[in-house]
Structure 1
Amino acid sequence: MSSTELPETLAAAVAPRVSAVRIRQGERLRSVELPGLTLTVRSRPGTRTGAPPALYVHGLGGSSENWSALMPLLEDVVDGEAVDLPGFGDSPPPDDGNYSITGQARAVIRLLDAGRRGPVHLFGNSLGGAIATRVAAARPDLVRTLTLVSPALPELRIQRSAVPTALVALPGMTALFGRLTRGWTAEERTRGLLALCYGDPSLVTDEELANAVREMERRLELPYFWDVMARSARSIVNEYTLGGQHGLWRQAERVLAPTLLVYGGRDQLVSYRMARKASAAFRDSRLLTLPDAGHVAMMEYPEQVAQAWRDLIDDEHRS
């Protein structure tokens, strides 16, 4: 593995980009080169010497910045890194074009093996929750604890509000959607996304909205953006067809790591009712339900998520 540090002042100049991604104060970006794969990793080093490592995995259409609100709340206890999955954030598409849950899980495993950072406290949101589940089941040696925020595990009855996202997976749908929304501004797209993902979009500050609009503008300039979205959405849909030991629910039963499950009562993409099923599937689990949260509780209610994780760790240390 080769790893190149990208200080904030130099990050935009090291590799060709449409525009620079945002780096918050206290964060660093580095590029990790693996055969057929380049991953951008956002880090917030722990403030305590020898703090155990943590890895954060974002959801569909997201990036490592989705964890920037939670990471500083845990920097006194973990050495945090958040990965941009292949094709998302600042990571280019993988050479093999594999956006399946298994392919993305393999990328996470390769990152951990190359950096020799395991076992880690592994966090995942939505698609990242499905990926983290597969990682924890396949490689228990790499995972100390597992925290899943609205994990995209297959549901028997999909919420109506989640149907448009699933339709993105259909062949030709992204091209049609592009034509139908050609006149939409980046701000209109961003507000629509926030309305879908947040329990209360009015909580988003003007500064946060402006930053999200800039990021949307950057993503829309990427020539592969819609293709990655379609293929990744298809990977979630494909999980509904997997049975036996390969199914995510069966793999959830194999997870050995203590698991924190976080579900939002206003989640329009992952049903709140799935919390009970998930609690039963993961053998060593605890549940945090946030009635007013949407799909990204770690962004809406980072303090509550951080405290629930600390409680998990405290209980593990006492046991």
Structure 2
Amino acid sequence: MSALHLRQWPGQADRPALALHCMMGNASYWGPIAKALSDKVAIRAPDLPGHGQSPDWPGTPDFHTYTTRAVAPLIDRPMDLIGHSLGATVALRIAVAAPEAVRSLTLIEPVLFAAAPDPANDAVMRELSDLVAAGESEEAARRFLSIWGGIDWEAQTPAGRERLIRQMALVVAGNDTLMQDSANILRAGGLEAIDAPVMILMGAQSPPVIGNIADALAARLPDIGRARLPEAAHMLPITHPRQVAELIGMNLDRA
């Protein structure tokens, strides 16, 4: 397995934290948050497989499993884990598998759809998969980003559009885990075994399924805090880094 490209920022070297980005993002967007939290932690953040400067996903095992296995070696002591969207589901999967490795856990807009099945959302995700299978990945990317990306498609460079179109294959490849919980993240006793402080952050303007997921996870986590940013949507680490950093900091202090 090829090593992931790792970005890191100055901070408290005796308290390392690991931040995992969203689908179609890269680790660079953690920079402002890492700077704001440098008095508390030293944040490192990998570009996930097929993103940024990291190697592509080779096709097997499934994308979520491959990503989790690539990230796990970066955790060499009890660590503060921070994840956004896809990254939040990877962080949660690690926390369920190895609760002792987690000092605190911050989940920003976790997209573990299996925690709160939503027929409307499931239909959209199936439609995206069908578009990719039919060779219409550009239309799939447009639709996906109109819901989850918060970006102007027309403002993207040709190279940027090409990258986003290519990454739709990763979106589809993650569906079994996110929609069906093929990784068994939600197994009996799994969430309940996480004794580290957990915080779930979300934007009030995000798709309704996010609130339902947050409710379902929070009901099972022993030590949980929640926050909702009124003006924010799914990409709040990018659009509202100061507020997100403050809220992460509160969870760090709880640990």
Q: Is the TM-score greater than 0.5?
A: yes
8 Å contact kept, 1:73–1:306:
yes
TM-score by length of 2: 0.82
Please tell me whether the aligned partners of residues 56 and 67 of structure 1 are also in contact (alpha carbons under 8 angstroms): yes
**Residue in 2 aligned with 1:32?**
none
The alignment partner of 2:117 has SS state of coil
- Residues 127-179 of structure 1 show CA distances to partners (whole Å, capped at 9, x for unaligned) of 1111110011112232211100000112211555x85455333474362233x
What is the number of equivalent residue pairs in this alignment? 251
Report if aligned partners of 2:203, 2:232 keep a CA contact under 8 Å in 1.
yes
Match of 1:66 in 2: 29
Pair 1:246-2:184 in alignment: yes
Report which structure shows greater RCO (CA 8 Å, sep ≥6).
2
Partners of 1:74 and 1:306 within 8 A in 2:
yes
What is the TM-score of this pair, normalised by structure 1? 0.67
Q: What is the match of residue 259 of structure 1?
A: 198
The equivalences for 1:37-56 within 5 A come to 37-46=2-11, 48=12, 50-56=13-19
**8 A Cα contact 2:3 2:70, kept in partner:** no
Q: Deviations over 1:111-137 (max 9, x none)?
A: 33xxx3x32211111111111100111
Q: Give the AA of the match of 1:83.
A: P
CA distance in 1, matches of 2:66, 2:208: 22
SS for the counterpart of 1:266 is coil
Note if contact 2:30-2:237 (Cα within 8 Å) is conserved in structure 1. Answer: yes
Gaps of 5+ in 2: none
Specify every segment of 5 or more residues in structure 1 that has no aligned partner in the other structure, as ranges.
1-35, 202-208
8 A contact 1:147–1:260 mirrored in 2 = yes
1:295 is displaced (CA, Å) by 0.7
> What is the aligned partner in structure 2 of residue 167 from structure 1?
127
Report Cα offsets for 1:11-66 as digits up to 9, x if no partner.
xxxxxxxxxxxxxxxxxxxxxxxxx21311111121x4x34101111111111123
- Calculate the aligned-residue CA RMSD, in Å: 3.2
Structure 2 SS opposite 1:147: strand
Q: Which residue of 88, 91, 112 corresponds with 1:129?
A: 88
Q: Say whether 1:197 aligns with 2:149.
A: yes
1:222-233 aligned at under 5 Å gives the runs 226=165, 228-233=167-172
Query: Percent identity, aligned pairs only?
Result: 27
Select the structure of larger CA radius of gyration.
1
Distance in 1 separating the partners of 2:187 and 2:245: 26
Q: CA deviation at 1:221?
A: 4.7
Q: CA deviation at 1:288?
A: 0.8
